[in-house]
Amino acid sequence: MADDTPTVFVLFGSTGDLAKRMVLPAFFELAHRDLLPARWRLIGNGRGQRTDDEFRDHVKDALDEFGTGTDNDTWRTFAENLRFAGGGFTADDPGALPDVIDEVRNDDDFDGDDVQLVHYIALPPATFTDYTRALGEHGLAEGSRVVYEKPFGTSQKAFEQLDAAVHEVFDEQQVYRIDHFLGKESTQNLHILRFANGMFAGLWNREHVEQVQIDVPETLDIDDRAEFYDATGAVLDMLVTHLFQVAAEVAMEPPISLGADDLQSARESVIAAFRPIDTDEVVLGQYRGYRETEGIADDSTTDTYVAARMWVDTDRWRDVPFVMRTGKMLGASAQRVTLVFRRPDDGPIKHLPANGAALTFDLSGDGAIDVTLTVKKPGPGEDLTVGHLELPLETVATSDGGGLSPYSRLLYDVLDGDRSLFTRPDGLAHVWEVAAPLLDNPPAIAPYEAGSMGPGAADDLAAPVGWFTTTS
């Protein structure tokens, strides 16, 4: 169970797409696993007017569609803890929110006790500054925690302005910038497996690793996120957020401890060593048919695909390419981090396969760890083949119900006051510096067919290994 301080969780944008798909199902998962404080309330906020019962119906529909459903004993108690505060929330007019918070603080369960306020801004980035200032204006910032969705800014200038606005109202220790890739079980195993197992710790460097791949192709289209996606694109939605943060998990130096400050410092320190992107090492694409989507302009130049090669200028990783790929409407879905190991420079065996030794972290679902090895093909002769040793993380014995979904894990950490899996402004500031050449002067966007693996030029970025799959 998280810190048992009585907690009021305010969800801004509570009737939006992000809330119904991610935040509400994650919160319900914590309730179902008995991981919420003993006394809590979730207050949904929105511009419209709804009764508490109408909001409960909305939440139930969201959980039935995107969560584990409400056909269980948890739902009745969960529903009793839901409230709604309509009328919007601005610096000039807070709507009903302050009154509803006061009602909760003074009801029989809380009885005027001090409560931990947690504000989750599940809204587009353009709203972050206004909502932050409104929280300060109406006395709801002191002692509270605030969660910001990604991207935290849409450019270096926008990041700097938002960061300044946030720190006018909040201390840094109150701020939780969420990146759900850091909440994935396999992402966390990037540092656990490395630091807990000497056989891997000794290989985690340029002497043994030829290439690092972070590969997140998607078969999905932009669904009902057209307006958000067309204003964002693959570079902002995925590259400068998720993929850069995962690269930092791979590349960081050993922290002093796995405590929040030490782990964050190790991650942010290595981001400072990321070399600014060379646009000659970037391929952007847009799938054919994207502009026919409702809400997308006929002349949209938004990228739905990006592949990039990046370099980390540390002694450990110098001259090792970090290649990253993600995009919509591709021919396969994966969330994969692979360390491709070098072939022996000398020895009696020649003509080894280029991808015959690798360590892969499958970040999707419950996650898995796969070791690729070159072995002798069974039978006469000395022919070689590639085999796999796979550890699905769902098979690891647990006594507490198994792993949490990424959003549930990160919400749990927010409730517990643990910032180790959240980003810091110093690292984010350098992320924008790394991405600046790409954002300021992007290469031409190449069209690609839906169902393909994107523009063919991206294959050159992963040479000589090629984009790795665990089924090769």
In the set 208, 242, 351, 388, the catalytic residue is: 242
Under a CB-based contact definition with an 8 Å cutoff, are residues 276 and 437 in contact?
yes
Binding residue per annotation — 19?
A: yes
Under a CB-based contact definition with an 8 Å cutoff, are residues 30 and 411 in contact?
yes
Binding residue per annotation — 39?
A: no
Binding residue per annotation — 17?
A: yes
Task: Give 211's DSSP letter.
Answer: E
Residue entry with tokens 């996120």:
225
Cα–Cα dist 233/166, whole Å: 25
Binding residue per annotation — 60?
A: no
Under a CB-based contact definition with an 8 Å cutoff, are residues 77 and 36 in contact?
no
- Give the closest residue to 275 by CA, choosing from 310, 319, 238, 235: 310
Which two three-digit tokens encode residue 215? 């590969």
Residue 459 CB neighbours (<10 A): 14
Under a CB-based contact definition with an 8 Å cutoff, are residues 449 and 305 in contact?
no
Binding residue per annotation — 208?
A: no
Binding residue per annotation — 331?
A: no
208 among known catalytic residues: no
Partner residues linked to 325 by β-bridges: 215, 307
Binding residue per annotation — 20?
A: yes
For 251, residues 6+ apart whose C-beta sits below 8 A from its C-beta are 212, 270, 273, 312, 314, 316, 317, 322
130-133 contacts at long range (C-beta below 8 A, 24 or more positions apart):
130/90, 130/91, 131/12, 131/89, 132/165, 132/166, 132/168, 132/169, 132/170, 133/91, 133/165, 133/168, 133/169
How far is CA 257 from each of CA 83, 188, 192, 254, rounded to the nearest angstrom?
A: 40, 14, 11, 8
Binding residue per annotation — 350?
A: no
Binding residue per annotation — 14?
A: yes
Binding residue per annotation — 376?
A: no
Binding residue per annotation — 150?
A: yes
Binding residue per annotation — 13?
A: yes
Binding residue per annotation — 230?
A: no
Strands 282-287 and 445-448: parallel
DSSP three-state, residue 367: coil
Chain-centre distance for alpha carbon 68: 21
What's the per-residue H, E or C state across 3-20? Answer: CCCCEEEEEECCCCHHHH
For 29, residues 6+ apart whose C-beta sits below 8 A from its C-beta are 67, 68, 404, 405, 408
Cα–Cα dist 116/146, whole Å: 11
Q: What residues form the annotated binding site for substrate?
A: 180, 184, 218, 237, 328
Catalytic residue numbers, as ranges: 242
Binding positions for NADP(+) are 13-20, 47, 150
Q: Please give the annotated binding residues, written as ranges.
A: 13-20, 47, 150, 180, 184, 218, 237, 328
